[in-house]
Structure 1
Amino acid sequence: MRLPLRAAPLVLVLGLGLTACGGDDSPADSAGPTTDGDAVAITVTRKGDDFTPNGERVELGVDQTLTLTIDADQAGELHVHSTPEQEIEYDAGTSEHELTIDRPGVVEVESHEPDVVLLQLEVR
């Protein structure tokens, strides 16, 4: 079946639109949080006094599990300013920690040594 010549631009535009939506959103290519079912996963990296992420806002549901994978070159502690406040101690190397927030609001996750806000959890 042959299409009329005037339909060719429409076919071209539709084809380009579909290829633009076909990107690979695999977690390995993403710098932000990833979701796996009901959990949200974030990797925190510490190199000396530098942290990644640094102040990123992440949406999280009430009672949704947040899995933090911490890759650090030295031991430390993160403070989760929720009610009640939570503390996450970590050693040098890679460790995994889970937490949940049971009230809506904005909750900061920060280091006090050095003083850095890593995440702002927008809990809904």
Structure 2
Amino acid sequence: MSGRGLARLVPLALVVAVSLTACGGGDDADPPASTQPATEGDSVALTVTREGGEFTPNGERVELGVDQTLVLTVTADEAGDLHVHSTPEQEIAYEEGTSEHEITIDRPGVVEVESHEPDVVVLQLEVR
């Protein structure tokens, strides 16, 4: 290939490379809408659903500020508890139906919220 032919291909190759980079799907995608909390003033609201022994969300990470209140609405087809592995640990007992609970974490880090019956991590609170 002559120098001129190569000189014409270089800009085309750059355009193709930039286009492919812009279209690439990365791991930075937004989490599903069900795990995106609603921020209201100084608190964050999130709904957890337990149906047929399964939870939604299921292990997703939610950002929360230090000392920011998480208002957790639990809708469940049977009673149970959630364990918040913070320091000190917190336990949320919920009844069948819909109930509302508040959680506040006073230290940065990742805090798991899990059920022991069934044994599943429901949320990971990324506290900053």
TM beyond 0.5:
yes
**What amino acid sits opposite 1:114 in the alignment?**
P
Match of 1:115 in 2: 119
Please tell me the root mean square deviation across aligned C-alpha atoms, in Å: 0.7
Q: Whose radius of gyration is greater, 1 or 2?
A: 2
Match of 1:90 in 2: 94
Deviations 1:22-71 (A, max 9, x none): xxxxxxxx422111111101100000211000011011000000000000
After TM superposition, the structure 1 = structure 2 runs for residues 29-40 of structure 1, keeping only pairs within 5 Å, are 30-31=33-34, 32-40=36-44
How much identity, in percent, do the aligned residues show?
A: 79
User: What is the rounded CA distance, in whole Å, between the counterparts of 1:34 and 1:90 in structure 2?
Assistant: 21
User: What is the rounded CA distance, in whole Å, between the counterparts of 1:109 and 1:40 in structure 2?
Assistant: 15
Match of 2:13 in 1: none
User: What is the rounded CA distance, in whole Å, between the counterparts of 2:52 and 2:67 in structure 1?
Assistant: 32
Corresponding position: 1:101 with 2:105: yes
Match of 1:15 in 2: none
User: What is the rounded CA distance, in whole Å, between the counterparts of 2:70 and 2:109 in structure 1?
Assistant: 15
Match of 2:78 in 1: 74
- Structure 2 stretches lacking a partner, 5+ long: 1-32
TM-score (norm 2): 0.73
